């Protein structure tokens, strides 16, 4: 097949009758997008030994041509080479349009700066190297590398990212431009993402990237596969990790076939198996993981149009710490007061109850087309299905039955047009439609924690950026989102009355079953978001960014509907049907300096959130099984104030130090008390020695100091049936500060091609320190992970 390149040729033929082989071709090279002229393009006439270069005004001429058809090859350092056929009929004028925005085609810049999604917002990008080093970890762990990102853990392998103090539904994860729908319902729902399937990971702190959704009050995590180079090639990469802690590892392999025509096909697979993790003094029983992932990309990326089909499958079976499964409040009191977990078994790879098994399918079809002098139209359909089983310790006939069996299916259609025809001004408008349905299987024999529901979303947005001059770039955007949630839920009559719903929501009851009521809540939410900011280039080295983002987030199903005993957490969780959207106003600024020897980033932020939704322990409820702590959702006004700072210094070409500090302070302004679950301040310092002459040898030593969280809500007082008196349940007191050392070393070797094998060895928690982290719910029961020595082999071919 000929590689046809789509061409627009405009003829302005003169009427002058000319002799054969005496014609002149006058041409003009212009930019496809904004019609600006391009100088320095080389024009060859194929088959003839004639070439010229376009002048300052983009013009070029060939003289003494014969009438007939010619083929021109036009190349420009910043553009893809283009072939154009021109019919010469006397003196001829031809305008030739070149694609000048290479970074947009993502064809060439495999190494180097990755284009940012926003101008004025704080955005951090994780390098391919960093992702490789975290290949054996979860997404949350990998992101911790970025100042201001911490994690909320509900297990060694259940890790959710926290950005500037916010987590869960407030953080949007985009996997290959598909919004992940799976992690919103509770702390134990970690994102189902294979960190190895994506090689570009960026974090946008705050809601500035409203293109992706207006409700990302905490931030947006963008995961993208590496762009495919447009050449005829076949390449692959295999990475193997072996870890001492968990006594297992993971392997991931990818193979990409690309063609010069822009066609590509990429397949990737990974498998991970770890047994029980270990704290310094004991085994963390039942914390193993079994995970497999597969993804397939097929597409064609052309100059004017392109399409892509993507499918990914992810399956994960995760053990939940055995000792964290407790009976009642006395068990919890005992666990909190005890230094050692109640259950320690021998090491095993087996995963038993309590555990969870999650399968996630994701499919996507997308298409784009550019229109000359106008812009680019993109449209996408995506599909997701998330199936989640949670197994509890159950007895008798139900022993192997799941306690939770949810199937969440989502369809989305999105489309947008980017107008980039005018130099220095980009405008993007788009629309989104989404339908989601959740099915909670009644066969579990357990009352549903999340009810059946249908959710409809519709969104419209416009974002623009304007280059005022070479120093100032302004950007702004607005978005409207409509959401409707239509649920059918059973309430115990006693709960319905206790919550006062019989007064406020009497009209939504559709069936009365005596002890239970079937209700049909239908809630509509209209949410608005807006953002504005600037990027000021003070000089080559110094940049200042400032952004204001206003965003609203509708409550998620767990915040509205949670009702009942959450067995694996040994707590009664209560949502509230009265919860409305929360509204965030965030001011963020960022001052950066980057020179060849040193650089820093200083990013303060202030986030004022009205009707902030939180869940916290509020008391106890008595059942025949004993007393259980009650965690209730409520809304309040909150202020989060913080700063992320980083500094690096190249002491010589071989020695570099990095310093990072993140601090955030969260306050409930209605009660003037500290907010729960706000990460403690942390300070990370590292020193790296590299020597390219010794097989790219690298060794780095990192020290991470996590301060004690001193601001936390009061503990609650509960009645202990065992002790027959009221006791303080020490559920909110954070653990002590801790200090961890990590050592990392790597080198690359040549087997077949240059540096195609990288060998790395790392040791995290090198000193095998006993510690507990405030944002780890297992902190009540066990110490965190001890030393982990891991070996990694990366082979490129």
Partner 1 sequence: MKRNKTLKTVLALSLMATVMTSCSSDDDTPEVVNEEEIITTMTVTLTSADGTATLQSQDLDGDGPTAPVITADNLTANTTYTGSIQLLNETETPAEDITEEVEEEADEHQFFFGLSGSLTDVTYTDTDEDGYPIGLEFELTTGDAGSGTITITLRHEPTKPNDGTLADAGGETDIAQTFTVTVE
Residue 376 interacting with partner 1 (CB under 8 A): no
Residue 578 interacting with partner 1 (CB under 8 A): no
Please provide the size of the chain in residues: 797
**Of 133 and 301, which has the nearer Cβ to partner 1?**
301
Sign of CA dihedral 628, 629, 633, 634: positive
**Of 592 and 621, which has the nearer Cβ to partner 1?**
621
Pick from 41, 126, 440, 763 the residue near partner 1 by CB under 8 A. 440
Residue 365 interacting with partner 1 (CB under 8 A): yes
The region of 55-63, 406-414, 535-543, 605-613 touching partner 1 under the rule CB under 8 A is 406-414
Residue 394 interacting with partner 1 (CB under 8 A): yes
**Of 516 and 696, which has the nearer Cβ to partner 1?**
516
Q: How far is the CB of 484 from partner 1 (least distance, A)?
A: 10
Distance of CA 644 to the CA centre of its chain: 19
Pick from 90, 309, 626, 674 the residue near partner 1 by CB under 8 A. 626
Residue 398 interacting with partner 1 (CB under 8 A): yes
**Of 271 and 307, which has the nearer Cβ to partner 1?**
307
Residue 577 interacting with partner 1 (CB under 8 A): no
Q: How many residues at the interface with partner 1, by CB under 8 A? A: 67
Residue 625 interacting with partner 1 (CB under 8 A): yes
Q: How far is the CB of 68 from partner 1 (least distance, A)?
A: 24
Residue 407 interacting with partner 1 (CB under 8 A): no
**Of 405 and 644, which has the nearer Cβ to partner 1?**
405
Q: CA–CA separation, 156 vs 96, rounded Å?
A: 58
Strands 571-574 and 626-650: parallel
Please name every residue paired with 263 in a beta bridge, in sequence order, or none if there are none: 300
Q: CA–CA separation, 118 vs 220, rounded Å?
A: 11
For residue 409, the number of C-alpha atoms closer than 13 Å in the C-beta half-sphere is 6
Q: CA–CA separation, 399 vs 403, rounded Å?
A: 10
Alpha-carbon separation of residue 477 from 432, 534, 582 (angstroms) = 16, 12, 19
Q: How far is the CB of 461 from partner 1 (least distance, A)?
A: 18
Residues numbered 408 to 437 that lie near partner 1 (CB under 8 A) are 411-413, 415, 433, 435, 437
Residue 722 interacting with partner 1 (CB under 8 A): yes
Q: CA–CA separation, 769 vs 784, rounded Å?
A: 9
Sign of CA dihedral 567, 573, 577, 582: negative
Residue 85 interacting with partner 1 (CB under 8 A): no
Pick from 621, 637, 658, 756 the residue near partner 1 by CB under 8 A. 621
Burial environment of residue 77 by CB neighbours within 10 A (0 to 12, 13 to 18, 19 or more): exposed
Residue 572 interacting with partner 1 (CB under 8 A): yes
Q: How far is the CB of 346 from partner 1 (least distance, A)?
A: 15
- The token pair at 141 is 């762990």
Residue 337 interacting with partner 1 (CB under 8 A): no
The region of 166-174, 577-585, 619-627, 740-748 touching partner 1 under the rule CB under 8 A is 619-627
**Of 622 and 651, which has the nearer Cβ to partner 1?**
622
- DSSP secondary structure string for all residues of 542-604: EEEEEEEEEEEEPPPHHHHH-EEEEGGGTEEEE--TT---EEEEEEEEEEEEE-SSEEEEEEE
Pick from 200, 253, 315, 342 the residue near partner 1 by CB under 8 A. 342
Pick from 445, 468, 671, 710 the residue near partner 1 by CB under 8 A. 445
Q: CA–CA separation, 136 vs 785, rounded Å?
A: 15
Residue whose entry in the numeric block shows the structure tokens 């980083």: 646
Alpha-carbon separation of residue 670 from 304, 576, 618, 638, 675 (angstroms) = 55, 19, 16, 8, 11
x/- string (CB under 8 A) for partner 1, residues 485-524? ---xxx-xxxx--x------------x-x-xx-x------
Pick from 442, 597, 671, 717 the residue near partner 1 by CB under 8 A. 442
Long-range contacts of 522-525 (CB under 8 A, 24+ apart): 522/484, 522/485, 522/486, 522/487, 523/484, 523/485, 523/560, 524/482, 524/483, 524/484, 525/481, 525/482, 525/483, 525/484, 525/485, 525/552, 525/554, 525/555, 525/580, 525/581
Contact 293, 345 (CB under 8 A): no
Q: CA–CA separation, 660 vs 193, rounded Å?
A: 26
Chain residues that interact with partner 1, rule: CB under 8 A: 4, 6, 305, 307, 325-328, 330-331, 334, 342-343, 365, 367, 369, 379, 381, 393-396, 398, 411-413, 415, 433, 435, 437, 440, 442, 444-448, 451-452, 454, 456, 488-490, 492-495, 498, 511, 513, 515-516, 518, 564-565, 572, 621-626, 628, 721-722, 724
């Amino acid at each position: 097949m000929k590689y046809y390149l789509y061409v627009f040729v405009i003829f302005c033929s003169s009427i002058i009758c000319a002799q054969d082989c005496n014609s002149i071709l006058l041409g003009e090279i212009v930019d496809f997008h904004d019609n600006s002229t391009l100088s320095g393009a080389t024009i060859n006439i194929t088959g003839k030994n004639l070439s010229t270069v376009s002048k300052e005004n983009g013009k070029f001429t060939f003289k003494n041509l014969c009438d007939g058809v010619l083929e021109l090859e036009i190349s420009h350092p910043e553009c893809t080479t283009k072939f154009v056929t021109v019919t010469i009929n006397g003196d001829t004028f031809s305008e030739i349009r070149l694609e000048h925005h290479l970074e947009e085609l993502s064809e060439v810049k495999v190494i180097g700066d990755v284009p940012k999604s926003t101008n004025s917002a704080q955005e951090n990008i994780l390098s391919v190297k960093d992702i490789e080093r975290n290949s054996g970890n979860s997404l949350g762990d990998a992101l911790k590398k970025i100042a201001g990102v911490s994690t909320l853990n509900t297990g060694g392998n259940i890790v959710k990212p926290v950005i500037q103090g916010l987590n869960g539904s407030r953080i949007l994860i985009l996997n290959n431009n598909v919004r992940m729908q799976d992690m919103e319902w509770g702390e134990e729902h970690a994102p189902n993402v294979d960190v190895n399937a994506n090689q570009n990971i960026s974090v946008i702190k705050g809601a500035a990237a409203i293109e992706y959704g207006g409700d990302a009050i905490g931030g947006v995590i963008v995961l993208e596969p590496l762009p495919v180079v447009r050449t005829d090639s076949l390449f692959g990469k295999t990475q193997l990790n072996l870890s001492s802690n968990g006594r297992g590892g993971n392997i991931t392999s990818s193979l990409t076939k690309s063609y010069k025509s822009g066609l590509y096909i990429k397949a990737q697979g990974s498998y991970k198996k770890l047994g029980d993790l270990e704290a310094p003094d004991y085994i963390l029983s039942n914390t193993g993981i079994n995970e497999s992932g597969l993804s397939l990309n097929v597409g064609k990326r052309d100059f004017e149009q392109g399409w892509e089909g993507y499918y990914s499958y992810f399956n994960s079976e995760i053990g939940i710490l055995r000792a964290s499964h407790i009976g009642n409040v006395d068990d919890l009191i005992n666990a909190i007061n005890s230094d050692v977990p109640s259950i320690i078994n021998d090491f095993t790879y087996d995963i038993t109850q309590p555990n969870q098994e999650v399968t996630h399918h994701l499919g996507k079809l997308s298409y784009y087309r550019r229109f000359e002098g106008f812009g680019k139209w993109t449209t996408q359909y995506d599909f997701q299905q998330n199936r989640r089983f949670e197994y509890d310790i159950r007895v008798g006939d139900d022993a192997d039955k799941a306690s939770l069996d949810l199937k969440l299916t989502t369809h989305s259609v999105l489309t947008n047009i980017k107008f980039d025809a005018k130099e220095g001004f980009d405008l993007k408008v788009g629309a989104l439609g989404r339908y989601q349905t959740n099915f909670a299987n009644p066969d579990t024999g357990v009352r549903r924690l999340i009810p059946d529901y249908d959710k409809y979303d519709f969104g419209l947005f416009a974002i623009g950026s304007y280059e005022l001059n070479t120093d100032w770039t302004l950007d702004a955007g607005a978005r409207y989102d409509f959401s409707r949630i239509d649920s059918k839920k059973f309430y115990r009559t006693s709960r319905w009355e206790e919550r006062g719903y019989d007064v406020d929501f009497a009209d939504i009851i559709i069936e009365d079953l005596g002890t239970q009521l079937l209700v049909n809540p239908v809630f509509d939410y209209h949410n608005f978001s807006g953002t504005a900011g600037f990027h000021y280039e003070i000089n080559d080295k110094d940049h200042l960014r400032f952004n204001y983002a206003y965003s609203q987030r509708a409550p998620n199903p767990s915040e509205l509907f949670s009702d009942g005993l959450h067995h694996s957490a040994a707590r009664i969780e209560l949502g509230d049907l009265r919860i409305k959207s929360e509204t965030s106003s965030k001011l963020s600024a960022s001052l950066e300096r980057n020179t060849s020897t040193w650089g820093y980033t200083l990013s303060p932020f202030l986030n004022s959130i009205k009707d902030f939704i939180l869940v916290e322990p509020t008391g106890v409820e008595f059942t025949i099984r004993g007393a259980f702590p009650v965690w209730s959702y409520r809304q309040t006004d909150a202020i989060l104030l913080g700063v992320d700072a980083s500094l690096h210094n190249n002491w010589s070409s071989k020695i570099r130090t990095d310093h990072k500090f993140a601090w955030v302070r969260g306050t409930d302004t209605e009660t003037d008390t500290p907010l729960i679950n706000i990460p403690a301040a942390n300070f990370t310092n590292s020193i790296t020695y590299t020597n390219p002459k010794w097989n790219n040898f690298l060794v780095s030593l990192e020290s991470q100091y996590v301060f004690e969280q001193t601001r936390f809500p009061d503990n609650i007082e509960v009645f202990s049936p065992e002790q027959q008196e009221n006791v303080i349940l020490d559920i909110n007191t954070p653990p002590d500060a801790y200090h961890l050392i990590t050592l990392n070393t790597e080198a690359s070797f040549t087997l077949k091609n240059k540096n195609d094998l990288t060998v790395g060895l790392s040791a995290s928690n090198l000193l095998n320190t006993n510690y507990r982290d405030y944002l780890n719910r297992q902190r009540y029961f066990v110490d965190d992970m001890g030393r982990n020595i891991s070996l990694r082999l990366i082979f490129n071919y």
